[in-house]
Chains A and B, each alone.
Chain A
Amino acid sequence: SSELTQDPAVSVALGQTVRITCQGDSLRVYDASWYQQKPGQAPVLVMYGKNSRPSGIPDRFSGSNSGNTASLIITGAQAEDEADYYCNSRDTSGNVFGGGTKLTVL
């Protein structure tokens, strides 16, 4: 099966823009989806497809894709965005998650 690689930790100043990236061969074929997870809670979908947000997700969240890299972009990060973020995609075996990125909002 393929792998998805994420930076373990990223920080952003309050109100600034941050990009969280995900790299993997499966992303050349399949779209990524992104999940936000806060301590003690189940993951929540924040982005999917080319650049689609589920209902209720703020429009400061956006996505982009290029080659083998998918990105989750938060424009104007808020304190409540501090969380772990996981990318995910289909792959040849079925499905795969990235290792996760811990986002700290300073």
Chain B
Amino acid sequence: QVQLQESGPGLVKPSQTLSLTCIVSGDSINNGDYYWSWIRQPPGKGLEWIGYIYFTGSSYYNPSLKSRVTISVGTSKRHFSLKLSSVTAADTAVYYCARWELQSEHFLHWGQGTLVSVSS
């Protein structure tokens, strides 16, 4: 059973870069059946898809965030990462990693989420 776990700083200063890692257990990112994804949820608001990456390194990003986002796969193929640059208070959110099932097109497995606050 695949499990996903987000990790990273809970507090980032404005204008800096937010960096998070999703540790994957029970599966390998080399599995070509999935996209590995980041999704966020500002406090009291809805879900927002940030982007996802395929094991080949091909990545797809939300157009509204594309200029600031990079998603990459770790060399061990057991984790993938999110970098969001030039953050502001509007980037304060719970950040989730999740696995997108390519054939049946849904997110079945999610991490528990991690709250990242942007504040000086």
On chain A, which size bracket covers the interface?
20 to 34
B34 CB within 8 Å of chain A: no
Tell me the complex Cα distance, A94–B48, Å: 12
A33 CB within 8 Å of chain B: yes
On chain B, which size bracket covers the interface?
20 to 34
> Mask for A83-106, Cβ within 8 A of B = 1, else 0?
010101110011111111000000
Tell me the complex Cα distance, A42–B41, Å: 10
Query: Which of A43, A48, A54, A98 interacts with B105 by CB under 8 Å?
Result: A48
Whether A48 pairs with B63 at a CB distance below 8 angstroms is no
Tell me the complex Cα distance, A98–B48, Å: 9
Q: Which B1-56 residues have a C-beta within 8 angstroms of A?
A: 37, 39, 46-49, 51-52
Set of chain B residues within 8 Å of A99, measured between Cβ atoms: 46
Q: How far is the CB of A29 from chain B (nearest CB, A)?
A: 11
Whether B62 pairs with A88 at a CB distance below 8 angstroms is no
Given contacts A31-B105, A48-B105, 17 further A-B contacts (CB under 8 A): A35-B107, A37-B47, A42-B112, A43-B110, A45-B108, A49-B105, A88-B47, A88-B49, A88-B107, A90-B105, A93-B61, A93-B62, A94-B49, A94-B62, A95-B60, A97-B39, A98-B46
Q: Which residues of A contact B (CB under 8 A)?
A: 1, 30-31, 33, 35, 37, 42-45, 48-49, 52, 54, 84, 86, 88-90, 93-100
